Structure 1
Amino acid sequence: MDNQLQRGFVFRQENCVGCQACTIACQIHNELPENVRFRKVDRYEVKRGDDEIDVWLTHSCMHCGNPACLMVCPAGAFTTRDDGLVVLDRERCTSCGLCVSACPYDAIAVDPRDGRAAKCNMCVELIDQGQQPACVTGCTVGCLTTDNVSQLLKSNTHASKTGVGYRDNLTKPNMVIIKERV
């Protein structure tokens, strides 16, 4: 059964310009070294009519309903909160790297400062204060937010769990793509 409280990222793919402001905001907020990224922006060339256009996908941890990282971690360093956010306790990490290999979204990095796994936790410290994650507030065009996944999929006919470069799979990722330009 799906978590009715599941929070996830909501991305208006048609509006994204690929500026990477979300990536930079995340990097600054989490005080990450230059070579560690929790949020990435990928570019895809898509044929529309006779033209090819650039379509962007911003992604980080998908806070999966069936997280591969949690299943393979021998140290039990991953937990899922009531709101579905997958959180990593870095103190429990043994640096085995199994989570990095298991994640189909390339969302887990190894922090070179200590060799332990590191990942997006959707800025739970901000979420718990009623605020949005740093990547959301950093998005200059307003195409990224968070919301209750189940409710959004039921209430918005333009909401989907598929988009250019992204699709639902066995891990039950929780990012919603809004296929509507505003």
Structure 2
Amino acid sequence: MSIVSVSSWNDLLFKRIFCNQVIQRRMDGSEDFYRNWSDYQHGFGDTCGEFWIGNDNLYRLTSTSKYQLLIVLEDFDGNLACAVYDSFSVGPPSSNYTLKIGNYRGTAGDSLKYHNNMTFSTFDHYYLKQNCPARYKGVWWYNDCHASNLNGRYLHGNHTTYADGVNWFAFRDYHYSLKFTEMRAEMI
């Protein structure tokens, strides 16, 4: 099933239940995540595989109730780690989908707090001094530039390039691209 836009509150309720609040998944590199603003605004991919729910949908979802964010990470050796943020929301389009997260707990290390209160950036839509999306081949809530880059290039583990993979610095550093990531908004 493909990602579709949410056009009514009934659709939103259905999407919330059907998708089980998964907002992002990387698992095999089958989907290109180096995309433009419009693609991230509306969403892309397949909910059974790799996908991004869409920033419009993410804003609508997190503006209706209180959520926490669960991020599950796995490397190519089967090591798992998680990060939980006790509050999570994404602002409206007028704020460029500003990320708001609360306190961290988990085993992955906190590589998202650096991005708190940052706007979403793509290579064709960014507000920083430098074009972090183009430099690191990703799309994220960059902050000159990143401590995590979960929408970066899928590079199959160790890589010689710097910080342009599916990176979570506190878990596997900038020269390791993760095998699996899943971001989930959980109602609290």
What is the TM-score normalised by the length of structure 1?
A: 0.29
| Higher Cα radius of gyration | 1
